[in-house]
Structure 1
């Protein structure tokens, strides 16, 4: 799920570039990433926070929920936390909680935050190091060099030779591969394999009008459209 979400996020990020030609699509993606690296790095350098902005916002929500938790210490690092009608176990040394939220995200849950506050600690110190400001700046420390347009590209004097043609072993094929349902008497035309017939008399599927069991009940001389239109025109003229 995480891999799919990352893929769909990047796919939406380049959705406008995907409609262009391959070379121009790659150029738009390169330009967007080149600018993104600089923007994200400048924003984090201007901030003095210890954590990334979104991680800090999630931690603040857990701090508000921690007001409803009642930690009961077992030892200095293990607590039983009562939250409404629920009771969980928190281990500050292992950084684990029974609700598994801290284990999966690396951000202390409200039970862990309540236990940290009980020890008079700072919740930001118990966040996984991958969410810190230093690692964020290290992730965006790289840069993509600029690229000039086609008019500034160097001219190539050597001719472009196509790759050599490699002939495989064996006799070359003369006739094309035929479709398994192709009509042998009429090359290039397919048979009616898989087509379900519809009777023009009873409108039922599975047979045609020649094998219809109700063909004797059908009118012998059905009215045609031309006859109907001629009769209508005659009545209109009258």
Structure 2
């Protein structure tokens, strides 16, 4: 399993904002190319991680007994449990195939019974073509800031927007300011001790 984005950017996050963003851009630029080249070199129908999950499901499917009920419907016996698999609707009683798009071992057992390829029943988003489409784009390289073009444009602040209504004349008071004495705070939050017993 690949590292998380948090772990991927851990060293860059300690830098100044501009250099942090530049480091992340460079890492992503390299990562996209690497992922695309790895998949182009691969000959599998589905992504490598999904293929590894399918292999585990295939091992479990050896302990199931599929019983044909209709053209595309099976009753799969798994120990003392029985589930219904519909290959046409792509559903299984355990709901794992419905939720993930990856056939569970009940479905794999049914697919083995019709001598079909399990990878054909995986959702299209996990296929090689979808993966390559995701990494089809690239991040353009950028020179260092000393090669950036010089701009002679002065920096002008944004225009001041005046809100509707009459402008406020009095200052905003602190929530704990004494309303009777202007500028004086109340004793809110102050610890008071009795002078005799402390």
By how many angstroms is 1:77 displaced? Answer: 1.1
Q: Calculate the TM-score normalised by the size of structure 1.
A: 0.73
- Determine the C-alpha separation between the residues in 1 that align with 2:164 and 2:110: 74
In the alignment, which residue of structure 1 is the partner of 2:117?
A: 122
1:76-130 CA-partner distances (Å, limit 9, x unpaired): 3111011011100001111110000001111110000001111111111111111
Q: 1:43 aligns with which of 18, 30, 38?
A: 38
Structure 1 or 2, whichever has the larger Rg, is 1
CA–CA separation in structure 1 for the residues paired with 2:31 and 2:121: 29
Structure showing greater relative contact order (alpha-carbon pairs closer than 8 Å, 6 or more residues apart)? 2
Q: What is the aligned partner in structure 1 of residue 17 from structure 2?
A: 22
User: Alpha carbons of 1:176 and 1:93: their partners in 2 closer, same or farther (altered >3 Å)?
Assistant: same
Which consecutive segments of 4 or more residues in structure 1 shift more than 2 A?
9-22, 157-176, 183-186, 189-197
What is the DSSP-based 3-state SS (H/G/I as helix, E as strand, rest coil) of the residue aligned with 2:125? Answer: helix
Shift of 1:131: 0.8
Q: Deviations over 1:138-167 (max 9, x none)?
A: 110100111111111111123333333344
Distance 1:195-1:45 versus aligned 2 partners, 3 A rule: same
Alignment partner of 1:180 out of 167, 175, 180? 175
CA distance in 1, matches of 2:73, 2:163: 71
**Structure 1 residue 196 displacement after superposition:** 6.0
Counterpart of 2:68?
73
Matching of residues 1-238 of structure 1 within 5 Å: 9-168=4-163, 172-184=167-179, 185=181, 187=183, 190-195=185-190, 197=192, 208-209=193-194
Change (3 A) 1:209 1:160: closer
TM-score (norm 2): 0.87
Work out the CA distance in 2 between the residues paired with 1:177 and 1:48.
68
Distance in 1 separating the partners of 2:27 and 2:106: 41
Question: How many residues end up aligned between the 2 structures?
Answer: 193
Post-superposition CA distance 1:38-93 (Å, at most 9, x none): 01001111111111000000000000000110111102311101101110000111
RMSD between aligned residues: 2.2
